[in-house]
A and B are shown apart, each in its own frame.
Chain A
Amino acid sequence: MEHLVPIGLNHYLTISAFLLGFGLFAVMTRKNAIVVLMGVELILNAANINFLAFSKYNGGMGGVMFSLFVIVIAAAEAAIALAIVINIFKIFKSVDVSSIDTLKE
């Protein structure tokens, strides 16, 4: 399998960049708050991939540790964010972020 290019750092980074792009796209364009949260998860995981890729390359365990923290924080963030979404729904009877613009006041 010599003719095959071994999977290197650039592949990881490219996947990560795509993930970040999808995540941002979802955050900026989706109307449903749940989908926006899913976009946020994508962004976080793109960061995780970057951490792990650089960690593997450098040979240290710092990146692994960081990504573990990010996963934990992402879980906590998801819990809080979903709680906020539920409250938004209670108040506005909707989870459509494009229709909620009370921040401007």
Chain B
Amino acid sequence: MHSLIQLSIVVLLLPLLSFVILIFFNRRLPRRGDFVGVGILGTAFAISAYIFWTVIVQTYDPAFRVAWNFTWIDLGNVPGIGPLTIKMGIVIDNLTAIMLAMVTLISLLVHLYSTGYMAGDKNYGRYFAFLGIFTFSMLGIVLSDNLFSIYIFWELVGLSSYLLIGFFFEKDSAADAQKKAFLANRVGDIGMWLGILILYSQFHTFSFAEIYANLAAGKFAMSNAWLTAAGLLLFMGCVGKSAQFPLHIWLPDAMEGPTPVSALIHAATMVAAGVYFVARIFVLLTPDALHVIAFIGAFTAFMAATIAITQNDIKRVLAYSTVSQLGYMVLGLGVGAYSAALFHLVTHAFFKACLFLGSGAIIHAMHHEQDMRWMGGLRKHMPWTFATFTLATLALAGLPLTSGFMSKDAILAGAIGFANVEGGGVYYIIPVLGFFSAMLTAFYMGRQIWLVFFGESRTHLKPADDHHSAHHAHGAHDAHNDDHHADHGVHEVSWNMRAPLVILAALSVFFVYSPNPLDGAQGWFMKMIKTPATVVASYQSAVGSGHSALKELPSAEAAGEHASEKGEHTFADPRQAELAHTSHAAHYTAIYISSIMVILGITLAGVVFVFKIIDPDKTAETIRPLYLFSLNKWYWDEIYQATFIRGSLLLSKMLYWFDRNIIDGMVNGAALIVRNVAFANNSFDKYVVDGLVNFTAFSVNTTGAVLRKLQTGKVQTYVVMLLAVVFGYFVFYFTRLIY
């Protein structure tokens, strides 16, 4: 076994150890054992950092890969299924090494931050235990080398997400939110499982490497439509977990969980697991499937951005921003900008975690006030939070010199290249939506910064009864003294909450990833993570207009040579080669357009909120239908309420009726028939059978009564009878003789 594999197993199991210790013994440990969680995660991060150092810095090889697996379950040849062997294994490549370091780092920072944020909570120990099980499952997803174990860990992160969203389960809204998240994820996971089964039915293996080898060898016996279906079904898992349209509805509600949890699970890691999973299965996705993925990503990015504009809850803005950014990543994968999408995954994880932890610091300082309308002026009270939050905001908006700028532009360049390759007007919707979302992102983040940090405190503007209900809703935080006004109590948070903010903000600057702030492709990340060559030789058949593979080949080689002249990755697949070429060509176009869009968005935010040239309230009145449409989140919840939930209720009512009247009717009818037959039987028994028996008894009785009279018991009667018989005999006999 490779030493890196051994180390990664240790990293995987450490958070599980933390979970086991804390779930059973937290009440016996001083400080409820929070130091156990932080310490273990610190160790895990140290080992992960070593793995990262070895793989990325020392080896520095885009094709680096070590793998190890063992047979977990061997059922032999199962009738009707074929050979059924389930292997578990670990694969470490560049992506795994980066994800490992990212997940453990953010988890460590969130642990540290939570020691401040969650202090005084009555379930403090349990909280750290849940963080442990979550980190364990997330690392499991990252390290898995096969679909089966990824599915197991996939469900485990779903469980830990469920537990942590509903951490304040005394609140109805939190309990509802956790149910909603679990059910929405369930829909996606069913699809994912079906996709896994399609692949398994073909190859009898769950292992990624074996599936791809088989696919590349052309062993997929069914039509390409099935492969597209398998890809899209697997993508459904990502739709659920990464909150893509149409299953995005759970993520904003998941903000009912503690804010550090929102940072760890619902911004940085778990929701990115969907994107990570699509990246893992990227090579088996057919162009058709990728088109669907690209459109879903673009639509999600745009829709969530429009919703984020009007939300008033500080965490909800960030939640919709997360949905929007995840849409970007999915879009990136859909258009084939593989490394750009994963680059955005990592940069987004850091700056969005920073934003969430920053909002947590604000909420903490404001005594659990989450509504931005009653904030304002926090810049003076919380300089550290303000600085880090602003830096992360700039990264999210995608301003030059930040990490978000590089990754987002790489995705948008890929989108332009994609539209050029596809050549159809409808495909330009994707980059257009992408650029428009970039502007909206800049706008809503500018609004947030302004509402929260600038101006004067608006705490006193808050309606009094609203104020009280907000306080009492947080029954879990009784430790805080709620009597004084927020602006009196606002102060910078303690060091253990400040340090994570600073580290995460530092990781949002460009030089961490690339020496050239304008081009992420020159950085180590995009050099280490290269788009893998597709194993689906399907472009020709997908286009299907009589082009043979041979005809396409020369142009493909030409494109490949062209790319290799520039020191780029070469692809055997003509479509991938062309995509790589065009997106590279579109790089500067993307930079110009997106910079203009971002500046436009920030300017607009400044015009509306800083200089008040346009009054936001009046504008909202003027375009009231649009404003309400955005404020009510495109009415998705209402639409689902009216269709799926009402539909399910209606269906269950119908089934109830069916059960009541048809099934029960059949049962009752059968009972009625049986009852009547039994009644008839009873009558027959009573009157005919019993009648016969009684009649026999009656006849015997009557005969006996008659005959009894003959038996007087007197000897002389018997003598008379004897004589009578003898006499009768003689009479009979002699009568016979005479005649």
Residues on A lying within 8 angstroms of B by beta carbon are: 24, 27-29, 36, 97-98, 100-105
Contact = CB atoms under 8 A, between A and B. Distances in A.
B720 interface: yes
A97 B714 contact: yes
13 contacts: A24-B719, A27-B716, A27-B719, A28-B723, A36-B715, A97-B716, A100-B715, A101-B714, A102-B713, A103-B711, A103-B715, A104-B711, A104-B714
Q: Is the interface of B mostly helix, strand, loop or mixed?
A: helix
A22 to B, nearest CB: 14
Nearest to A104: B713
Given A24-B723, A28-B720, A97 B713 contact: no
Contacts of A103: 711, 713-715, 718
A100 B718 CA distance: 13
Q: Is the interface of A mostly helix, strand, loop or mixed?
A: helix
Given A24-B719, A100-B713, A104-B712, 14 more contacts: A24-B723, A27-B719, A28-B716, A28-B723, A29-B716, A97-B715, A97-B716, A98-B714, A98-B716, A100-B715, A101-B713, A101-B714, A104-B713, A104-B714
A28 B714 contact: no
B721 to A, nearest CB: 11
Interface residues of B, number: 10
B75 to A, nearest CB: 84
Contact of B713 (A24, A27, A36, A105): A105
Interface string B698-722: 0000000000000111111011100
Contacts of B716: 27-29, 36, 97-98
Nearest to A31: B716
B556 to A, nearest CB: 123
Contacts of B711: 103-104
Nearest to B711: A104
Contacts of B719: 24, 27-28
B414 to A, nearest CB: 119
Nearest to A27: B719
A22 B713 CA distance: 24
A84 B714 CA distance: 16
B712 A101 contact: yes
Contacts of A36: 715-716
Nearest to A33: B715
Nearest to B710: A104
Contacts of A104: 711-714
Contacts of A28: 716, 719-720, 723
A43 to B, nearest CB: 11
B724 to A, nearest CB: 11
Contacts of A29: 716
B727 to A, nearest CB: 11
Contacts of A102: 713
